[in-house]
Amino acid sequence: MTDKKERILDAALTLFAREGYAATPTSKIAKVAGVSEGLIFRHFENKQGLLDALMQKVELKLAGIYGPVLMETDPRLALKKCIELPFLVPESEFDFWRLQFMLKWQKEYNHPEKMQALIDKLTQVFRELDHENPEGEAMLVNLILEAVATSILKGNMSQDDEIRYFLLGKYGL
Amino acid sequence: MTDKKERILDAALTLFAREGYAATPTSKIAKVAGVSEGLIFRHFENKQGLLDALMQKVELKLAGIYGPVLMETDPRLALKKCIELPFLVPESEFDFWRLQFMLKWQKEYNHPEKMQALIDKLTQVFRELDHENPEGEAMLVNLILEAVATSILKGNMSQDDEIRYFLLGKYGL
Amino acid sequence: MTDKKERILDAALTLFAREGYAATPTSKIAKVAGVSEGLIFRHFENKQGLLDALMQKVELKLAGIYGPVLMETDPRLALKKCIELPFLVPESEFDFWRLQFMLKWQKEYNHPEKMQALIDKLTQVFRELDHENPEGEAMLVNLILEAVATSILKGNMSQDDEIRYFLLGKYGL
Amino acid sequence: MTDKKERILDAALTLFAREGYAATPTSKIAKVAGVSEGLIFRHFENKQGLLDALMQKVELKLAGIYGPVLMETDPRLALKKCIELPFLVPESEFDFWRLQFMLKWQKEYNHPEKMQALIDKLTQVFRELDHENPEGEAMLVNLILEAVATSILKGNMSQDDEIRYFLLGKYGL
DNA sequence: TATGAATGAGTATTCATTCAT
DNA sequence: GATGAATGAATACTCATTCAT
């Protein structure tokens, strides 16, 4: 991938994440990226294609993030890793995840099934830990994870660590 | 408020909630509302003013929803009412709340302090119920509520009742 | 003429004179006049009709102003009265004359023949005073009058009186 | 400057000068210039910017016109050149000067001080020619020049040459 | 690959004018 | 006579996209 193509993607990600996809003109992307307006359309079919290119990475990133959890065989460790997930996202990736979360409010980008693997793993974990309602517990943890991630990405959470250790304590970890 | 003004507000709410504010042209709002496009700008200074008019109602609605919880003196009942909050939103108000939640991703509309009254109440509840870390528990419930509401509004939650009774059970209610 | 109709005319005159006809919305006229927008169109067929009503008065006013000059039989007195014309316009009528002068740049409102009576009178005056080229002198005085009026109406002339007495002296009056 | 940018400027000048700035829609400018309406806003920020671009040239043109007068050392020749100024404007520049004169009725475009250099020169000329009131004479010539220019630009002056030679004769030139 | 001038459909907004009350 | 809600055509301006270079 050329230097300029990458600069376009970077600019688009930042702008889409901060101002919204529809509210971001391609001309602004070009300016921020320091390239000509036309170049965007040489590298990407159209504005939508630029968004698609950005969204494409999500599968990969999700796999990279969930992988270690899914592969963990010790149930308590798996649960711990799972709960810590949202706290470990580096700030450099906030824009990327903000964009994902924003777009999930649009039907065409809302794919709750992408969480299924994690929920299944959590269900198994809670089963192994002899919880009464493993499905419910898994769903609950999943909900909490989404809420924590949302809160962090919005910059609402001043006391990251408190919540983190509180949650870990709550689950006896 | 005239009939037409209200129809404009209704159309705008529906469209903003489903397609997004920036992605909704005023011409479409006018068409859906069955009025001339110019009328929008007679009743609301500009497109932003239309959104503002919509957003203005949120304080009122929040007060109406939180009121019964805040006024409940029995801690267990208060907790119960609190947890049931997101499950009691009528479908007719989904668009309104979808819009609120979508916009919260925009800095200027993100006001986490609006939840503080509820968090304070929950903290008190958990203190009265002799929980070890009432602040943490309150924060957790608040997170769960937001996650549940988000899930319901996005149409992700097929098994509303399961989650609802699971949560109530979890807190011994 | 009703009170409100007159208030409309006043507002229109002021606004047309200061911001220009095309640049003045009828809504602004209504607001300044303190009447409803619709009323303008009850009293005047349309915006153009409002301007026409304003312009109609010009014949009358011109006659009122030129009359004394035309009727003066003493040539030197006639010349004196003529030169003093622009200096005697009361400030309360500045808006009216500003509008006339502005509109004269539009073909349809440019009627140089309206000055002919005055020029004829001046020609006669200079003939009686035995000037070599009475037509030329008359034309020159007319030009000077227009220039002085223009300058006064634009607010450019700080030293009205100086010019006035200089001109009178120049013509030995 | 590209071909099209210049065509936009030309069309705008013609239309502004003949119909007025406010009364000229950008769509009409585009049509007359034979370009898309959007192009106007690529080359000039907005409609006002287009006018500004037109007005910017005035300093240059004024300097070009006044230069020879200001540099003339012989007082009689200087006066002669000065009086002939308005008669030497080529018809191709009428639109440009019409626009200047029209806009001078708007406060923000009325800069009488731009004439000061010429008035100063004229004052000096009349002083050298031993006139009694050089300032008054200078002011008067300046007024006459403006009036003559106005008259020519409005197409009122049928007998250009008559006035011209009358004026020259009047000042013994 | 890269530019930037150019386009045309669209977008928010304005405004003269109408009309029911 | 008077109001003000309502209209629809126009208006300034934006923006995704194309294309010649």
CA of C13 to C1' of F3 (A): 23
User: How close, in Å, is residue A3 to chain B by CA atoms?
Assistant: 30
Which of C86, C87, C88, C68 has the alpha carbon at shortest distance from C78?
Answer: C68
State which residue of chain C sits closest to D101, comparing Cα positions.
C105
* Confidence band, pLDDT 50/70/90 cuts, at residue A21: very high
- Checking if the pLDDT of A64 tops 70, the result is yes
Of A84-98, A157-171, C16-30, which gets the smallest average pLDDT?
A: A157-171
Distance CA B140, CA D131 (A): 96
With contact defined as 3+ CB pairs under 8 Å, the chains touching C are D
Positions on chain F within 7 A of a protein C-beta: 1-20
Backbone torsions φ then ψ of B94, nearest 5 degrees: -60, -45
Nucleotide nearest to A27 (CA to C1'): F15
CA atoms C18, C21, C22, C24: torsion sign:
positive
Contact: A136, B98; criterion CB under 8 Å: no
Angle (nearest 5°) at CA B101 between B98 and B102: 85
pLDDT value for A42: 96
Contacts of B144 in chain A (CB under 8 A): 140, 143-144, 147
pLDDT value for B1: 63
In window 48-107 of B, residues with CB < 7 A from nucleic chain E are 48
Which one is predicted more confidently, A126 or B63? A126
Backbone torsions φ then ψ of D16, nearest 5 degrees: -55, -45
As a whole number, mean pLDDT of residues A4-27 equals 97
Please give the model's pTM, rounded to 2 decimal places.
0.92
Secondary structure in 3-state letters for B39-104: HHHHHCCCHHHHHHHHHHHHHHHHHHHHHHHHHCCCHHHHHHHHHHHHHHCCHHHHHHHHHHHHHC
- Using the CB atom, is residue A112 less than 7 Å from strand F? no
Distance CA D110, CA B157 (A): 69
- For residue A169, the SS3 value is helix
The parts of chain D modelled with pLDDT lower than 70 are 1
pLDDT value for D1: 64
Question: What does DSSP assign to residue A87?
Answer: G
> How many other C-beta atoms lie within 10 A of the C-beta of residue B111?
11
> How many other C-beta atoms lie within 10 A of the C-beta of residue C10?
15
The beta-carbon neighbor of A147 closest among B102, B112, B146 is B146
User: How close, in Å, is residue C134 to chain D by CA atoms?
Assistant: 11
Which pairs with CB-CB distance under 8 Å and at least 24 residues apart come from A128-135?
Answer: A128/A75, A129/A75, A129/A76, A129/A79, A133/B166, A133/B169
- Using the CB atom, is residue A27 less than 7 Å from strand F? yes
The parts of chain C modelled with pLDDT lower than 70 are 1
CA atoms A102, A108, A109, A113: torsion sign:
positive
CA of B56 to C1' of E10 (A): 30
Nearest residue, CA→C1' of E3 = A36
In window 33-52 of C, residues with CB < 7 A from nucleic chain F are 35-39, 42-43
Which of A65, A76, D136 has the alpha carbon at shortest distance from C163?
Answer: D136
The letter for the amino acid at D11 is A
Tell which A residues from 99 to 138 touch B, by Cβ distance under 8 Å: 101-102, 104-106, 110, 112, 133, 136
Angle (nearest 5°) at CA B114 between B109 and B115: 125
Which of D141, D147, D135, D149 has the alpha carbon at shortest distance from D168?
Answer: D141
The whole-chain average pLDDT of chain D stands at: 94
Positions on chain E within 7 A of a protein C-beta: 1-20
The letter for the amino acid at D169 is G
The beta-carbon neighbor of C22 closest among D20, D98, D166 is D20
The letter for the amino acid at D132 is E
Chains D and C touch, contact meaning at least 3 pairs of CB atoms under 8 angstroms apart: yes
| Cβ neighbours of residue A56 closer than 8 Å, sequence gap 6 or more | none
Which one is predicted more confidently, A13 or D1? A13
> How many other C-beta atoms lie within 10 A of the C-beta of residue A108?
6
Of A87-96, A150-159, B87-96, which gets the smallest average pLDDT?
A: A150-159
User: How close, in Å, is residue C138 to chain D by CA atoms?
Assistant: 11
Contacts of D148 in chain C (CB under 8 A): 143
Cα–Cα distances in angstroms (integers) from residue B24 to residues A19, A26, B27, B48, in the given order: 15, 18, 8, 12
Distance CA C58, CA C66 (A): 12
Question: Hey, is the C-beta of B168 within 8 angstroms of any chain A C-beta?
Answer: no
As a whole number, mean pLDDT of residues A35-45 equals 97
> How many other C-beta atoms lie within 10 A of the C-beta of residue B139?
22
C50 touches C35 (CB < 8 A)? no
Helix (H) or strand (E) holding C61: helix C47-71
The parts of chain B modelled with pLDDT lower than 50 are none
Distance CA C106, CA C111 (A): 10
Which of A155, A41, A161, A153 has the alpha carbon at shortest distance from A93?
Answer: A153
- Checking if the pLDDT of A127 tops 70, the result is yes
With contact defined as 3+ CB pairs under 8 Å, the chains touching A are B
